[in-house]
């Protein structure tokens, strides 16, 4: 009987976890899967971005190749997350109303075809009339979105992977080819490392948000006249509410800045649906700083053949859209593996 083949996935962020699960569904009886990572959902690290995320589903209109690719991946992910919210609330996902109010919408939001392509798949999507928008808002929409309690969801994905027979190992990989030696008979390594092991096109985006106790039952995304954005995202399962946020490319400051917190809360206080008795103030639990692993031109999703017929499948660089793209990215990875005859194809998750 031939030795069992092992597929190794590097990285236990939301992309790595989701990808490992989708691959697990395609394995034949002579294959097993290992998940190797520096950080897992039970750990807290500034460079482990997924547990720090808001997170919610929000379309991003655009016509670049990257935008169109992400739109396809996001639509597939939306359908999966929506289904998961109804079938298993313990996943930490819930369907809520999403509202967007833009004071000075960028040009891509003024292209009706682009907006329809980006938003049209969302349940309950419609443009808001001027009379429905707050003062100063010139563009508004509402739709049914999903919000994600990110630490809960990451732990849920890991639990499913382990219960499905997956093996985990905490290990800091230096180069993806190292993973060929970390388990028996490895022919395929899937690189979901986030920043991609020295890829010159990869960079971090520093994000600072604030977790507050104030409840709300919708996501609100607000663009201000000066071009800045703010948002609130309720975390399911009594996880508080995220007030955000910043996007600071290549900013390595690990510490939350008080002035940033004050600006985030001041912007959100202008529109946040405060409950009676809150006096219009936020009750802060903690500041959050995370480093989103981004890449110029978008994610690298590619099959690389290395010596002896081995393959490294790359899937990294999602930036701030890891949760929104995760299921679609995992599908693209599986397609690459199937086309290279690295796995068989069975029913999806």
What DSSP line would sit under 101-130, residue for residue? EESS--GGGG-HHHHHHHHTTSTT-EEPPG
Mean pLDDT of the chain: 94
293: confidence class by pLDDT, cuts 50, 70, 90: very high
Mean pLDDT of 267-293: 95
Residue 109 sits in a domain of what CATH number? 3.40.50.720
pLDDT of residue 347: 36
> What is the radius of gyration, based on Cα positions, of the chain?
21
Is residue 165, in this structure, part of any structural domain at all? yes
- CB neighbour burial string for 137-148, b if at least 16 within 10 angstroms, e if fewer: bebbbbbebbbb
Which residue positions form the known binding site for FAD?
173
> Is residue 346's pLDDT more than 80?
no
Binding residues for D-dopa: 292, 320
Query: Quick one: pLDDT band at residue 257, thresholds 50, 70, 90?
Result: very high
> Is residue 349, in this structure, part of any structural domain at all?
no
The pLDDT value given to residue 204: 97
Confidence at 93, pLDDT banded by 50, 70, 90: very high
Look at residue 345 and tell me if it is in a domain.
no
What pLDDT score was predicted for residue 2?
67
- Sequence-distant (≥ 6) Cβ neighbours of residue 67 within 8 angstroms: 60, 61
| Residue 303 included in any domain | yes
CA-to-CA distance for 152 and 154, rounded, in angstroms?
A: 6
pLDDT at 349: 39
What is the pLDDT at residue 309?
84
Is residue 133 assigned to a domain?
yes
Q: Residues 6 or more apart from 78 whose CB is under 8 A from it?
A: 57, 121, 122, 146, 324
317-334: average pLDDT: 97
**97 pLDDT above the threshold of 50:** yes
Distance CA 80, CA 327 (A): 7
Query: What pLDDT shows up at residue 345?
Result: 55
Domain of residue 324: give its range.
5-340
The verdict on residue 328 lying in a domain is yes
Q: What is the mean pLDDT of residues 193-204?
A: 96
Contact 156, 139 (CB under 8 A): no
What is the average pLDDT across 247-252?
A: 96
Q: Domain total for the chain?
A: 1
**pTM score of the predicted model:** 0.95
Answer whether residue 196 shows pLDDT above 80: yes
Residue 1, pLDDT > 60, answer no
- Residue 92 forms part of a structural domain: yes
Q: Which helix (H) or strand (E) holds 205?
A: strand 202-212
- Summarize the annotated binding site as residue ranges: 173, 292, 320
**Would residue 346 count as lying in a domain?**
no
């Amino acid at each position: 009987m031939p030795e069992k083949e092992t597929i190794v996935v590097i990285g236990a962020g939301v992309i790595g976890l989701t990808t490992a699960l989708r691959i697990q569904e395609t394995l034949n009886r002579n294959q097993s899967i290992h998940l190797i990572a520096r950080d897992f959902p039970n750990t807290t690290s500034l460079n482990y971005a997924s547990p720090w995320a808001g997170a919610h589903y929000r379309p991003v209109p655009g016509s670049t190749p990257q935008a169109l690719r992400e739109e396809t991946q996001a639509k597939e992910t939306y359908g999966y997350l929506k289904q998961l919210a109804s079938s298993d609330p313990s996943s930490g996902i819930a369907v809520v109303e999403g509202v967007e109010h833009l004071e000075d919408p960028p040009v891509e939001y003024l292209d009706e075809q682009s907006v329809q392509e980006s938003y049209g798949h969302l349940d309950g999507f419609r443009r808001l009339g001027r009379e429905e928008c707050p003062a100063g808002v010139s563009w508004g929409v509402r739709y049914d979105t999903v919000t994600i309690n990110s630490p809960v969801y990451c732990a849920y994905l890991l639990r499913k992977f382990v219960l499905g027979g997956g093996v985990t190992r905490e290990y800091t990989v230096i180069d993806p080819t190292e993973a060929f030696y970390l388990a028996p008979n490895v022919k395929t390594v899937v690189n979901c490392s986030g920043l991609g092991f020295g890829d010159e096109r990869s960079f971090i985006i520093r994000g600072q948000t604030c977790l507050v106790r104030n409840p709300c039952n919708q996501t609100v995304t607000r663009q201000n006249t000066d071009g800045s954005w703010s948002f609130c995202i309720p975390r399911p399962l009594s996880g508080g509410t995220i007030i955000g946020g910043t996007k600071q490319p290549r900013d390595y400051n690990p510490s939350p800045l008080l002035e940033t917190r004050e600006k985030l809360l001041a912007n959100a206080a202008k529109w946040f649906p405060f409950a009676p008795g809150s006096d219009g103030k936020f009750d802060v639990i903690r500041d959050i700083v995370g480093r989103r692993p981004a890449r110029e031109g978008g994610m690298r999703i590619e099959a690389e053949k290395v010596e002896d017929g081995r393959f490294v499948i790359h899937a990294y660089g999602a930036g701030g859209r890891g949760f929104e793209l995760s299921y679609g990215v995992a599908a693209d990875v599986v397609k690459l593996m199937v086309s290279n005859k690295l796995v068989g194809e069975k029913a999806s998750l």
